[in-house]
Amino acid sequence: MSSTEIKPTEIKRIVVKIGTNTLSDKDGLRYDFIKDIARQVSHLKREGKEVIIVTSGAIGAGCKALNLMQRPQPTDIILKQACAAVGQSVVMEAYHNAFASYNEVVAQILLTYDDFSDRKKYLNFRNGIEKLLKLGVIPVVNENDVVATDEIKERFGDNDRLSALLSSGVDADLLIMLSDVDGLYDRDPKIHRDARLITTVPEITREIEAMAGEKGSPLSVGGMVTKIGAAKICADAGCRVVITNGNVKNVVTRIVGGERIGTLFLARKRLSKKEMWISHSTAKGRIIIDDGAKDAILKNKSLLPSGIVEIKGMFEKNDVVFLNDFAKAIVDFSSEDLKKIKGKNSSEIKKILNKSGKVIVKSENIVFL
């Protein structure tokens, strides 16, 4: 979708991401807000749309239920996990009750970054979401704070990155990120009264990234920087993104209906599912190659052992690795095996490893950065 407008007929599958500062206030969860979101989503379902919700708020809800006076310190991972364990049920009960008022069923899905990096897990949860949508269920997705120590230390950025990876993984047409800001401004509106709202971003350039400023606020780890990063992920997946204020009346239905609210980030040509997975998976290591091997890869050739100079990190066959700094790829040999055959001719692989195979990385398994 290259048009600068959102056309309702082009939007079938929508992900709605709700940030912490939108879902909660100093008194806890905003139950009236959640019920209003349920009303809007139910309306979209009646129009034939599929909607997935990405929610935050579990840790904050857990703090409230446990009568903690303040949110756990960033370094207190165990307390954060405990709060999340308590808060997940509180958050889901709120969604369940809100959607039940409109005769809708919700399903809880908890994900970690590993679920996106491990291709088998990735395919499993994607298939599960597809089945739920076919059954008419509204998936409510959150990060699994109870077990995901990396995510809980801000890796997902208040679920900004999670919502983008999910949108790309399920082929969403539109990601709506509801926050406590109106969108992307050319400079900080809290400091500059004449700051201008950017209504459309055709491409995320360095200038656009500079407008995002520093990430995070005291109440939420999902600042504009992480939202811009999420928009970049979605752009590669052919998914548009709108960043807007969640407190605008009927904001979700109005955006899907084509009304211009907030900042719209346009999509580029959609990468294949495999390319998306490689591009956004965590690299387990790095293969340093010589200039000749790099030139060959840039001409759509595969990587042979003769072009390998050095192996960094520990990885297994089928893991994703960096090739120098210019590409990511699925590797066909483990780091241990590659250390034995680096710089060798392909014909020597079987003799050295007693394994068949002449190619280290196939050309179709390479994505350029």
User: Which residues form the domain of 297?
Assistant: 283-368
Read off φ and ψ for residue 5, nearest 5 degrees. -115, 150
User: Which of the pair, 190 or 316, is modelled with greater confidence?
Assistant: 316
Q: Is the domain of 130 the same as that of 270?
A: yes
The CATH number assigned to the domain holding 353 equals 2.30.130.10
Angle at 306 (CA atoms; ends 322, 318), nearest 5 degrees: 40
The CATH number assigned to the domain holding 93 equals 3.40.1160.10
Q: Is the domain of 234 the same as that of 302?
A: no
Q: Is 1 inside a domain boundary?
A: no
Q: Provide the pLDDT for residue 222.
A: 45
> Which of 242, 275, 308 is where one domain is finished?
275
pLDDT at residue 27 is higher than 90:
no
Q: Is the domain of 259 the same as that of 323?
A: no
Q: Is 190 inside a domain boundary?
A: yes
Q: What is the strand order of the sheet 285-289 is part of?
A: 308-313, 285-289, 320-323, 327-330, 366-368
Alpha-carbon dihedral 269, 274, 280, 284, rounded to 10 degrees: -150
Read off φ and ψ for residue 35, nearest 5 degrees. -65, -35
- Beta carbons within 8 Å of 313's beta carbon, 6+ residues apart: 284, 285, 286, 321, 335
> Which of 275, 295, 325 is where one domain is finished?
275
pLDDT at residue 150 is higher than 80:
no
Read off φ and ψ for residue 52, nearest 5 degrees. -120, 135
Q: Which of 80-84, 114-118, 264-268 has the lowest mean pLDDT?
A: 114-118
Identify the band that residue 76 occupies on the pLDDT scale cut at 50, 70 and 90.
confident
Q: Is 305 inside a domain boundary?
A: yes
Q: Provide the pLDDT for residue 158.
A: 63
Q: Is 176 inside a domain boundary?
A: yes
Q: Is 209 inside a domain boundary?
A: yes
Q: Is the domain of 239 the same as that of 112?
A: yes
Quote the number of domains for the chain.
2
> Which of 275, 310, 328 is where one domain is finished?
275
Q: Is the domain of 227 the same as that of 156?
A: yes
Rounded to whole angstroms, the Cα distance separating 134 from 6 reads: 24
Between strands 138-143 and 200-201, the pairing is unpaired
pLDDT at residue 59 is higher than 70:
yes
Q: Is 330 inside a domain boundary?
A: yes
pLDDT at residue 152 is higher than 50:
no
Q: Is the domain of 12 the same as that of 121?
A: yes
pLDDT at residue 338 is higher than 50:
yes
pLDDT at residue 204 is higher than 50:
yes
Average pLDDT over residues 298-316: 96
Task: Give the tens place of pLDDT for each residue, 250-302.
Answer: 999 999 999 999 999 998 877 787 888 898 888 999 999 999 999 999 999 99
Q: Pick the most confident of 68-77, 132-141, 199-208, 276-285.
A: 132-141
Q: Is the domain of 269 the same as that of 310?
A: no
Residue spans of beta strands (DSSP E) within 92-230: 106-111, 138-143, 174-179, 200-201
pLDDT at residue 149 is higher than 70:
no
Q: Is the domain of 181 the same as that of 308?
A: no
Q: Is 3 inside a domain boundary?
A: no
Q: Is the domain of 268 the same as that of 290?
A: no
Average pLDDT over residues 310-316: 96
Identify the band that residue 3 occupies on the pLDDT scale cut at 50, 70 and 90.
low
Q: Is the domain of 271 the same as that of 288?
A: no
Q: Provide the pLDDT for residue 220.
A: 38
Q: Is 245 inside a domain boundary?
A: yes
Task: Give the tens place of pLDDT for each residue, 44-57.
Answer: 999 999 999 999 99
Q: Is the domain of 268 the same as that of 287?
A: no
Rounded to whole angstroms, the Cα distance separating 232 from 166 reads: 13
Identify the band that residue 5 occupies on the pLDDT scale cut at 50, 70 and 90.
confident
Q: Is the domain of 180 the same as that of 233?
A: yes
